[in-house]
Amino acid sequence: MYIDGMGQLKKMYKGELLSASQIWYRENLAHVKEYNKTLNKGTPLGRPIVNHTEEEKKASLKRALDKYNKTPKGKATNKKNQTLWLKTPKGKATIQKNVKKWRMNNPHMVRWRHLLKSALLRLNQPKQDSTKNLLKYSANQLNEHLLKLGYNKDIHSIDHRIPVSWFRNDTPPHIVNHLSNIHPLNKKDNEIKGNRFAHSIEEAYYYESFPFIKNMYQQRIYVDKT
């Protein structure tokens, strides 16, 4: 008996130092040859050919890919490939197409985000939190508020009862864009209004917003008591 450098046990067999599997193969060579005749020799390990359908092949490939994609290496590879692909002309075109489709399917989300973005820009403030936290209401809540007031995107624009420019620059976005300060207004009327005057506001909102109104405009705001 002898143990080689790989830790494999070998012994002498007809003048040769062989492993147990090699000895078995030689002793059963005739049986192996007969068995191999029943197999397709062109396949790996002499395994028989199995004619899978195209659907079975696709399903098998999908299972293998899904399994690989869940591994750390698969996740890292996919992330790298996606980053590279998004930089290609086709990737950029796909992004633009998806963004356009999303905007068409979610106009209430677009209005909600634009409302905050526009206010922050005019107040010269950076965005330091999520849209919902800064406005203190969701896109659906804004949409419901506008619809109750008869909003129609083809006729109206979204107007601030107290113009944004009347607020101090340190005014919190949720005060400027408070639902009590938001209403639909005919597009032409909104253009004429500009920041020349304010519409009447609810009394509760008056007291909440008044401390943030610039001094020159404080006397030009009035409460709707109807």
The reported pLDDT for the residue numbered 209 is 96
User: Nearest to residue 123, comparing CAs of 35, 200, 206, 214?
Assistant: 214
Q: Is the whole model's pTM more than 0.75, yes or no?
A: no
* Residue 135 pLDDT: 97
Contact yes or no for 141/130 (Cβ under 8 A): no
3-state DSSP assignment of residue 207: helix
Q: What is the pLDDT of residue 154?
A: 93
Per-residue pLDDT, 10: 57
Helix (H, G, I), strand (E, B) or coil at 182: strand
Q: What is the pLDDT of residue 2?
A: 47
Report residues of the chain scoring pLDDT below 70: 1-13, 15-19, 23, 36-50, 226
- Other CB atoms within a 10 A radius of the CB of residue 119 amount to 21
Q: Which residue, chain included where needed, has tokens 């750390």?
A: 72
Question: What pLDDT score was predicted for residue 120?
Answer: 97
Axis crossing angle, helix 72-86 with helix 89-105, rounded to the nearest 10: 90
DSSP 47: P
